[in-house]
Structure 1
């Protein structure tokens, strides 16, 4: 099969499988009477990071470490500059959580922790375990903080699917993610080889956008319908999970080699865009990412992708 078809098939499978995984995970949580608070912070967050995790694992074991790390870095840049930028152009995005600055600080700690871990151009298993531990602490803090604000008194909804159907959907999603990740990496590697483009560039651009498609599609549809269910907190949380969960789990299983280009160039784009996000939502109590700010984010993303291929 041509590499472009592998790439497209991988995109489609990851898109639907990621959605199925989130839905089945939420249904499973309801079957076991887990609150929506815990579902949102853990199950859904892991579910939306599953495509990145599967792609990164597959890439590392296929000897394409630049696709693995590039996928995470590219996704973190795309979440802010592409997803938030496009959504804000359609429908300005408000700051919903008043504690968003705390989440932003955690995201920056995760980002600089990644930069520090990569200073020797390898993310070791020990550093991966440390990322996972930090993620655990963050989840516990997030749950505790939300309960403190009185959000834990929500009623646990009844599942809309039977347990058997839920398990089958979960297994189907898991299989789809596995093969979707495999086909995406195969297609990306072949295209990079044929075009003479580095795996780093393909990982940061094509693969990263591919694994971010579910978030992008969902957010754009919500914006078109003028539903404010996308929040800055969701994007920040996704970036934290990408570093601590995706790279944490991947490097724990197998240490990841990081190319100097990613460490010395792409990481700093990720930092710069994160700082720009913070500036764009000032004042934090009633910040708004307006259409012109969204235009700036999208323009920066287009410039970054252009410079990658030049």
Structure 2
């Protein structure tokens, strides 16, 4: 049990570090080959924030633990809306006055409702994965067209990470370092996802709880760490609009991109328990932020505390329900 927990923690650490290196390397490669910065921002950078969830989802399905993949995405979106916004709001109010915020928030809510509707059949299958991924493609095309026609929109995609080299004028050295970052990042993500999933499955089996519960808690919280770190640093630096934009973009990519590709790899059953609580908590968490963007105000400390209490209550309910189910299973065995 202790070894499995250590395995999961190491896997989480690898996912966070490898994802960062993958994005830096991919951006540098794209720049080397002359891809437009706007295209880089809309694809590579945006995908990179959801890379841990993506690799965990694929690995979970291939390992025969698809509900862990489902729990990871649903739990990550809940953590993003409540924890990743709530904690930075205690540091500094999160501004909700950035342009296009309402539009992107509406897209996130639409993606959430679409995901819930598709899940109503009891399982997500290949063609539904195509629908989700098509929604992501449409979102990227729409964002790209608006960004091209509006320089202010384009600016948000041009803050790209750079690969530092000892000699920036040496293109061959930069290309080699970029390739190493990409290859190492991909390898780290694959290994990290495998360690996290295998450790999580063992923990779930040992505790007698479902893989979905582990996905909603341990795995979801771990894969949300990059977004949490980004939001906290943004709050400390006074760039509070970055925190909210980061959460909205990540949630959209998780639902449409991560689950879209995961479901195309293998079908994902949706347990009844998700329709009893988890999917509705995800929707409620998204709706909890919407009033702030609608009136273009800010998420202050009181609101941040409310979001954190909401998240704490949800995690508390999962822990109580998981222990209850484990006790019932133990009595029946």
> What TM-score comes out, normalization by structure 2 length?
0.87
Which residue number in structure 2 is paired with residue 35 of structure 1? 36
What is the CA distance between 1:233 and its match in structure 2? 2.3
CA 1:201–1:160 in structure 2 vs 1: closer, same or farther (change >3 Å)? same
Give the greater-gyration-radius structure (CA). 2
Task: Pick from 206, 210, 213 the counterpart of residue 218 of structure 2.
Answer: 206
Which residue number in structure 2 is paired with residue 92 of structure 1? 93
Which residue number in structure 1 is paired with residue 185 of structure 2? 173
What is the CA distance between 1:221 and its match in structure 2? 2.6
What is the CA distance between 1:129 and its match in structure 2? 1.0
Residues 86 and 298 of structure 1 are in contact (CA less than 8 Å); yes or no, is this contact kept in structure 2? Answer: yes
What is the CA distance between 1:267 and its match in structure 2? 0.4
What is the CA distance between 1:156 and its match in structure 2? 10
Mean CA deviation greater in 213-222 or 70-79: 213-222
- For structure 2, list consecutive stretches of 5 or more residues without a partner in the other structure: 166-173, 321-333
Whole-angstrom distance in 2 between the partners of 1:156 and 1:17: 20
Which residue number in structure 2 is paired with residue 271 of structure 1? 283
Spell out, residue by residue over 1:253-274, the C-alpha distance to the aligned partner (whole angstroms, 9 max, x if none).
2111111111332000001111
> What TM-score comes out, normalization by structure 1 length?
0.94
Mean CA deviation greater in 115-124 or 174-183: 115-124
CA 1:29–1:97 in structure 2 vs 1: closer, same or farther (change >3 Å)? farther
State whether structure 2 residue 257 is matched by structure 1 residue 245. Answer: yes
Whole-angstrom distance in 2 between the partners of 1:200 and 1:83: 21
Which residue number in structure 1 is paired with residue 112 of structure 2? 111
Which residue number in structure 2 is paired with residue 16 of structure 1? 17
State whether structure 2 residue 272 is matched by structure 1 residue 260. Answer: yes
CA 1:150–1:122 in structure 2 vs 1: closer, same or farther (change >3 Å)? same
What is the CA distance between 1:229 and its match in structure 2? 6.2
Q: Which runs of 4+ in 1 moved over 3 A?
A: 151-161, 225-229
- For structure 1, list consecutive stretches of 5 or more residues without a partner in the other structure: none
Task: Pick from 268, 282, 298 the counterpart of residue 288 of structure 1.
Answer: 298
Whole-angstrom distance in 1 between the partners of 2:279 and 2:307: 17
Mean CA deviation greater in 181-190 or 223-232: 223-232
Which residue number in structure 2 is paired with residue 236 of structure 1? 248
Which residue number in structure 2 is paired with residue 307 of structure 1? 317
Give the secondary structure class of the aligned counterpart of 1:281: helix
CA 1:96–1:180 in structure 2 vs 1: closer, same or farther (change >3 Å)? farther
RMSD over aligned CA atoms reads 2.0
Which residue number in structure 1 is paired with residue 171 of structure 2? none
Residues 25 and 47 of structure 1 are in contact (CA less than 8 Å); yes or no, is this contact kept in structure 2? Answer: no
* Matched residue count: 308
Whole-angstrom distance in 2 between the partners of 1:290 and 1:304: 21
